[in-house]
Amino acid sequence: MLAARAEPMTKGQAERLAPLIEEVLAQARLAPRDLAAVAVCTGPGNFTGVRIGVAAARGLALAIGRPALGAPRLQALAEAAGRAGAQGPVLALAAARRDERHAQLFDLVPDDEGRPMAMPFGEAIQAPIAEIPDAFADVPVACVRGPGAGEIAAALDAVALDEGDLPDAADVARIAARALAALPPGARPERPAPIYPRPPEADPPSEAPPPLLDGAPG
37 & 107 share domain: no
- The mean pLDDT of 151-163, rounded to a whole number, is 97
182 & 208 share domain: yes
155 & 92 share domain: yes
pLDDT over 70 percentage in the chain: 90
Query: Is 140 a member of any domain?
Result: yes
Q: DSSP letter at 160?
A: E
Q: Are 170 and 4 in contact (CB under 8 A)?
A: yes
Give the domain CATH number at 116: 3.30.420.200
Quote the mean pLDDT of the chain.
Answer: 91
Q: Give the orientation angle of helix 169-181 with respect to helix 73-83, to 10 degrees.
A: 100
Tell me the C-alpha distance between 167 and 78, whole Å: 9
101 & 132 share domain: yes
3-class SS of residue 162: coil
Query: Is 40 a member of any domain?
Result: yes
The answer to whether the pTM exceeds 0.85 is yes
88 & 153 share domain: yes
Identify the pLDDT of residue 205: 53
3-class SS of residue 90: strand
133 & 184 share domain: no
**Structural domain span for residue 199:** 13-72+167-213
